[in-house]
Structures are given as structure tokens and as C-alpha cells.
Amino acid sequence: MTELALYEPAICLPKGIKVFVTTRYGGCSQGHWQSFNLAGHVQDDPAAVAQNRVLLRDQLMRATGSASLDLQWLNQVHGTKVHHALAHITEPLPQADALYTTAVNLVCGVLTADCLPVVFCSMDREEIAVAHAGWRGLQKGVLENTLACFKAPAAQIIAWLGPAIGPCHFEVGSEVREAFLAAAVAGTALATEAAFSASAHEGKWFADLYQLARIRLLTAGLIQISGEPACTVCNNTTWYSYRDSPVTGRFATLVVKT
């Protein structure tokens, strides 16, 4: 990948819907946060984060051709709450892990460093959403809660999975596997089991977040599911990874209706 601060993943989207993913490149943060950190809660210099957010806004305006864009962020807590964003910015930041809107030119963003970002849009281009799904949020139903906001039927909703820690690196304890198996609805137990492979470390498993998310989305009735096949740990020069380095920045996955 060339060193772009922001790119549009290759997704088949309805006209006017745009998805963007940021990288570590092109910002002004230093050290552990080098360089395009967009999160204010990770001990980075607040002035650098503010500057990076200005840069992001400029790049989004250029990429969308929209003269006025607002960006809505969340206070993410690994929960399952969805914030329904109206046409204006909500401040202080809503405590939630997903954003849903029908508003135009309101960019909805989540920040991650290994957790799975999931973008949604309805094929009639009316509704968009983005969710932050770590294993806890995914297991407790953040994706299902996000889909529940949509008026469009599930078969008319497109989902795209962004860069996240891959099954090559996401080692978890047995409790994570047990939690997913306990929550698996009828007919998905085998697929859920297959999303975990035994690690060489006793009592540990490698979890496939993409697969776990796909199971939930297919169960919810979605048909069009695609994703970024990139692991954030394997690609830690492109994206931030918390597993790789606990003191680090966050990159953004964004969706907007123009």
C-alpha cells in the first residue's frame, strides 16, 4: 500500500455513500502515536490529535467534494449501545459503540486498534451506520443492535468489515470461546466452534473476529458482506495495533452519505 493517510476500500456501494479508512501515515503525532492518531484518550499530545482531526476533515472534504461536513465520534466503551445521530454533532460525545444516521454530510466514525470496525448502508442509500466491535461488543450484540435501527430489511443492507486483528494474532482465553458458544443461536454452534483454533498455549485459542462477525450478520439475514482481509498486527506499520503495542494511537473507519 502506498502511504496514504486515508483510502476508500474497494466496496460496491450505492451512489453517494462513501467509506473511508485512515492509516498511520500523513499525520503529525510523534513517537508511539506516529503519525495520524485520531484518538484523544490515548496519552498522545492533544495539539497533535487536534491537528490530525483538522487534516482528516480537509481530506474528507476533498474526497467527497462536500463543502460542509460534520464528523460525529463516540465515547466507545466496548458496549452495545447505538447512537442515532441527527443532522448536527452531539457533544459531549455520546457513550455508545455504534452510530446510525440518515443525515447527509454527517460523517460517522469509529476508532479502533485491533477491534473490528463494521460499516453498514441500506441499498436505497437512505441509512448508514458504523459499529466498533471488539469481542465483548460482538458477543453481546452490538451488530444486531445496529441493524435493529434500520428500516430497510436485512437483505437490503450491505455490511463491510474493516481492518482488525486477524486469527493469526488474536489469542484469547477459553472464556471468550465459551461466551460465544453460549450465545450461539441454533444452527451456528459448529460455525462458531470453527472460528476458534487451539493455540500452542494451554487454555488459549486463536479467534477469528471476521468469522464471528459474519456468523452474526448472516444469522441476522444479511447477504452482502465483504471485508478487509488485513490483520492490524501483521500490518502494524499501516494501522495501529493495541496487541502489538498497548501505548498507541487509533485509526478511523468512516461512512458518510453525500
Burial 74-112 (b: 16+ CB within 10 A, else e): bebeebbbbbebeeeeeeeebebbbbbbbbebbbbbbbb
Phi-psi region of 128 (alpha: psi -120 to 50; beta: other; left: phi over 0): beta
When the beta carbons of 176 and 256 are compared against Zn ion, the nearer one is 176
When the beta carbons of 150 and 206 are compared against Zn ion, the nearer one is 206
The reply to whether 166 sits near Zn ion by the rule CB under 5 A is: yes
When the beta carbons of 128 and 195 are compared against Zn ion, the nearer one is 195
Q: How many residues bind Zn ion (CB under 5 A)?
A: 6
When the beta carbons of 215 and 233 are compared against Zn ion, the nearer one is 233
Q: Which of 17, 38, 56, 231 binds Zn ion (CB under 5 A)?
A: 231
The reply to whether 198 sits near Zn ion by the rule CB under 5 A is: no
- Per-residue contact track with Zn ion, 134 to 163, x per CB under 5 A? ------------------------------
What are the CB-based long-range contacts (under 8 Å, 24+) for 60-63?
A: 60/6, 60/20, 60/107, 60/254, 60/256, 63/6, 63/8, 63/18, 63/20
**Which among 72-80, 97-105, 165-173, 246-254 is the span making contact with Zn ion, rule CB under 5 A?**
165-173
CA distance 250 to 258: 25
Burial 1-39 (b: 16+ CB within 10 A, else e): eeeebbbebebebeeebbbbbbbbbbbbbeeebbbbbbb
The reply to whether 230 sits near Zn ion by the rule CB under 5 A is: no
When the beta carbons of 220 and 234 are compared against Zn ion, the nearer one is 234
* Secondary structure percentages of the chain, helix, strand, coil, to 5: 25, 25, 50
The reply to whether 234 sits near Zn ion by the rule CB under 5 A is: yes
CA distance 244 to 164: 12
Q: Which three cell numbers stand for residue 110?
A: 469509529
**Which among 28-36, 51-59, 71-79, 225-233 is the span making contact with Zn ion, rule CB under 5 A?**
225-233
Q: Which of 57, 169, 204, 243 binds Zn ion (CB under 5 A)?
A: 169
In this chain, which residue has its C-beta nearest to Zn ion? Answer: 231
When the beta carbons of 163 and 166 are compared against Zn ion, the nearer one is 166
The reply to whether 217 sits near Zn ion by the rule CB under 5 A is: no
The reply to whether 249 sits near Zn ion by the rule CB under 5 A is: no
When the beta carbons of 140 and 243 are compared against Zn ion, the nearer one is 243
CA distance 172 to 199: 9
CA distance 1 to 205: 30
**Which among 132-140, 166-174, 184-192, 250-258 is the span making contact with Zn ion, rule CB under 5 A?**
166-174
The reply to whether 233 sits near Zn ion by the rule CB under 5 A is: yes
Where does this chain bind Zn ion (CB under 5 A)?
166, 168-169, 231, 233-234
